[in-house]
Amino acid sequence: MKLQTRKLLDKSFTGLNLFSAFLLISALIIVLGPIFFKGIGAFVFKGTVEYRRMIFDQFGRGNKEKIFKEIAYSQKARKFIYDNISDFEKGIIVKSYIKETKKIYKEYKEYLSSLELPNPHKNELRRKSRSLYSLFIKALESTDKEKVENILNQILSDPYRKRFDSTPMTKMFHLVTRYSEIVNQVDLSNREVYLENLIDLKDQLRTLLGPFPKDPKPILPRNQYGQTRWDRSLVKLNDVLFIEKYDYSDSSEMGQIVQYPRSEIFKGTTVEHIFSYLEDNRESILLPKTVFYWRFFTDVPLDSNIFGGIKPAILGTFYLTFGALLFSIPLGIIAAIYLTEFAKENWLIQLIRTCIGTLAGVPSIVFGLFGLAFFINTIHVSSSKSVLAGSMTLAILVLPTVIRASEEAIRTVPHTYKEASLSLGASRWRAVLTVILPAALPGILTGIIISMGRAAGETAPIIFTAAVSVGQPLKLWETLSQATPALSWNIYNLCTEHEAVDEIRHVQYGMVLTLVLLVLLINIIAIILRARINKRLIGRT
Partner 1 sequence: MKKIRIHPGNLGKQLLSTGNTRTKRILSFFGHSLLFLITGVSVVSVLFIFIFIFRDALPFFKLEGFKEFFTSTKWYPSSDNPSFGALSLFFGSAIVTTGAVIVSVPLGVIAAVCLSDVLSFSLRQIMKPVIEILAAIPSVAYGFFALVIFAPLLQDSGGNLLAISSWIVCTPLILLITIIGSGLLASKISPVNSLYIRIIAALIIGIPLFTGLWFLSSHISGIQISSGTNALNVSIILGIMALPTVVSVSDDSLTAVDRSLREGSYALGATRAETLIKVVIPAAKGGIVAAVILGIMRAIGETMVVWMASGNAAKIPHPWFNFLEPIRTLTATIAGDMGEADQVTGSSRYHVLFALALCLLLFTFICNLIGEKFIKRSKKITR
Site for partner 1 in 493-512 (CB under 8 A): 495-496, 505, 508, 512
Helix (H) or strand (E) holding 206, with range, is helix 191-209
Q: Does 270 bind partner 1 (CB under 8 A)?
A: no
From 331, 381, 422, 441, residue interacting with partner 1 (rule: CB under 8 A): 331
Select from 261, 342, 416, 438 the one that contacts partner 1 (CB under 8 A): 342
Candidate residues 148, 155, 339, 483; the one interacting with partner 1 per rule CB under 8 A:
339
Interface with partner 1, residue 6, by CB under 8 A: yes
Piece of the chain touching partner 1 by CB under 8 A; list 122-130, 199-207, 472-480, 488-496: 488-496
- From 132, 208, 329, 491, residue interacting with partner 1 (rule: CB under 8 A): 491
Give the integer Cα–Cα distance in Å for 122 and 345: 119
Shortest distance in whole angstroms from residue 295 CB to partner 1: 23
Beta carbons within 8 Å of 97's beta carbon, 6+ residues apart: 90, 140, 175, 179
Pairing of strands 307-308, 301-302: antiparallel
Alpha helix ranges (H) inside 458-503? 460-463, 487-496
Q: Which stretch binds partner 1 (CB under 8 A): 97-105, 107-115, 187-195, 396-404?
A: 396-404
Helices (H), 371-500: 387-412, 415-423, 428-431, 437-457, 460-463, 487-496
The answer to whether 255 and 247 have CB atoms below 8 angstroms apart is yes
Task: With CB under 8 A as the rule, give the number of residues binding partner 1.
Answer: 98
Q: Is 106 helix (H, G, I), strand (E, B) or coil?
A: helix
Residue 538 lies near partner 1 (rule: CB under 8 A): no
Close Cβ partners of 44 (under 8 Å, ≥ 6 residues apart):
290, 291, 292, 293
Strands 301-302 and 242-247: unpaired
Binding mask 58-87 for partner 1 (x = CB under 8 A): ------------------------------
Q: Which is nearer to partner 1, 410 or 491 (CB)?
A: 491
Give the dihedral sign, CA 288/291/297/298: negative
Residue closer to partner 1 by CB (options 274, 518) is 518
Q: Please pick, from the candidates 166, 251, 378, 541, the single residue that binds partner 1 as defined by CB under 8 A.
A: 378
Query: For residues 457-476, which are near partner 1 according to CB under 8 A?
Result: 457-460, 463-464
Q: Whose CA is closest to 520, among 31, 41, 44, 38?
A: 31
User: Which of the ranges 2-10, 46-54, 127-135, 177-185 carries the binding residues for partner 1, by CB under 8 A?
Assistant: 2-10
Considering only CA atoms, which of 209, 231, 305 is closest in space to residue 44? 231
Does residue 32 touch partner 1 according to CB under 8 A? yes
Which residues between 411 and 450 bind partner 1 (CB under 8 A)? 425-427, 429-430, 433, 450
Is residue 27 near partner 1 by the rule CB under 8 A?
A: yes
Residues 214 to 243 in contact with partner 1, rule: CB under 8 A = none
Q: Using CB under 8 A, which of the segments 117-125, 167-175, 202-210, 454-462 binds partner 1?
A: 454-462
What is the rounded CA–CA span in Å between residue 264 and residue 260?
Answer: 8
